[in-house]
Amino acid sequence: MKSLMEGNLEDGLLNKVDLRRQWISQMVEEVQKIVHHLTTEISYQDIRFQAVLYSDTYNENIKVLAPTQLLITVPMRGLAGYREARQQRWRYYTLQGARLSCPLRDPEGLHQWLEVKQFLKSLWQWHEADVNTDGDIVPAKVLQVFRKLVENAIETCHLSGKVSMLMDRPAVRVAVETSIGRVELELTPSVEIPTAWSKKARWPSCLKRWPSAERVQCIKSFGFSLLACSNYHWQLSFSRAEQVLLEQLDEDGGCRRKCLQAVRQMKEDVWCPGKSPVITSYHLQTLLFWTCEKYPHPKDWQVFSRAFLRLVRKLHKCVSQHFLRHYFVRKSNLLQYANSGELGALAQKLAFFLKNPQISLP
């Protein structure tokens, strides 16, 4: 066990971070080749889905949530010129097309409806009944079509020995065998909206010093996406905006990224290991954004040990309260549906660590 105040701790922990980066890079390299192969075939079979392009550097369609858990967003084609819905209306349909006597519940937090008429241009295929009900593009229907396409592509591409479907619904999830082990992917169709900023994202709040006003305008110019990962409602995603924030974290020479990497390493190795952790890299990224906003000055991020413990304390508070606001849509609690028992166990580990900051590097 090593004390956080020992001089060689930072080096030891960040060496682990470097090893993780190499391991993840190799895994992502193998995964994205398979994903590109599959989605190219899917795009050939159904024009509404685009291939996930192969990239030698950062791939914006691949998010590492945990070492063996990846989110793959699959862009969709044929919807352009997005506009916010001008008026609310009730929905009375089931996924099977039957009529309901009472309306469906309205979306909350990070979710919204999506109508074809919200786009100035749309392919005729988006008006077809396989994805459309009463003018709505229905995520569950999109996922049903997409699931069948993935199943067929696995066979057509002769990948049955490497890729297998998982039975989770409505999500489309597959297991991929790589040279360094089994990885689970969630393949999520995504409507990209690069020309607008969601009205639900009332960001930033007034009088915030981080990020700067110029940076805010730049970030908003990247727009947002809508993900098909539930039955009726589309989930807002701001992955491009978040990536811009991450890329420009330490222009002042601070240690924000190091702190994020170190907390993530401890989370994966000690506090919250496992292939489906209750806290993912996305939660930690959001936590860092909030902490940067609260501590906007360069001097707050010059001493690694102090900044690291600050981030751990913030994590402990969020986990203990079962509450972590989404950074852009502040009415949404990212821990609302998290397992209470797992959060409680993690809170205990963090409390024990904070009483006597000792780090055991496996």
Quick check: 84 and 223 in contact, CB under 8 A?
A: no
143-151 mean pLDDT: 97
Average pLDDT, the chain: 93
Instruction: Give the confidence band of 6 by pLDDT, cuts at 50, 70, 90.
Output: low
**Token pair in block for residue 125:** 């295929």
Measured CA to CA, the distance from residue 188 to residue 168 in angstroms comes to: 13
Per-residue pLDDT of 198-220, as tens digits, reads: 999 999 987 788 998 899 999 99
In Å, the largest CA–CA distance within the chain is: 67
Measured CA to CA, the distance from residue 103 to residue 92 in angstroms comes to: 5
Checking if the pLDDT of 176 tops 80, the result is yes
Measured CA to CA, the distance from residue 64 to residue 213 in angstroms comes to: 29
Per-residue H/E/C for 28-40: HHHHHHHHHHHHH
**Residue 12: how many other CB atoms lie within 10 Å:** 12
278-288 mean pLDDT: 97
Helix orientation angle between 256-266 and 281-294, rounded to the nearest 10 degrees:
140
Instruction: Give the confidence band of 167 by pLDDT, cuts at 50, 70, 90.
Output: confident
Predicted structure pTM score: 0.93
* pLDDT value for 153: 98
Per-residue pLDDT of 302-325, as tens digits, reads: 999 999 999 999 999 999 999 999
Instruction: Give the confidence band of 359 by pLDDT, cuts at 50, 70, 90.
Output: low
* pLDDT value for 88: 83
143-154 mean pLDDT: 97
Residue type, 141: K
* pLDDT value for 310: 96
90-117 mean pLDDT: 91
Class in CATH terms, 21-199+224-237? alpha beta
* pLDDT value for 276: 87
Checking if the pLDDT of 361 tops 60, the result is no
Domain locations in the chain as residue ranges: 21-199+224-237, 249-356
* pLDDT value for 72: 98
Which CATH number does the domain 249-356 belong to among 3.30.1050.10, 3.10.20.30, 1.10.1660.10, 1.10.1410.40?
A: 1.10.1410.40
* pLDDT value for 206: 77
Checking if the pLDDT of 1 tops 60, the result is no
Instruction: Give the confidence band of 168 by pLDDT, cuts at 50, 70, 90.
Output: confident
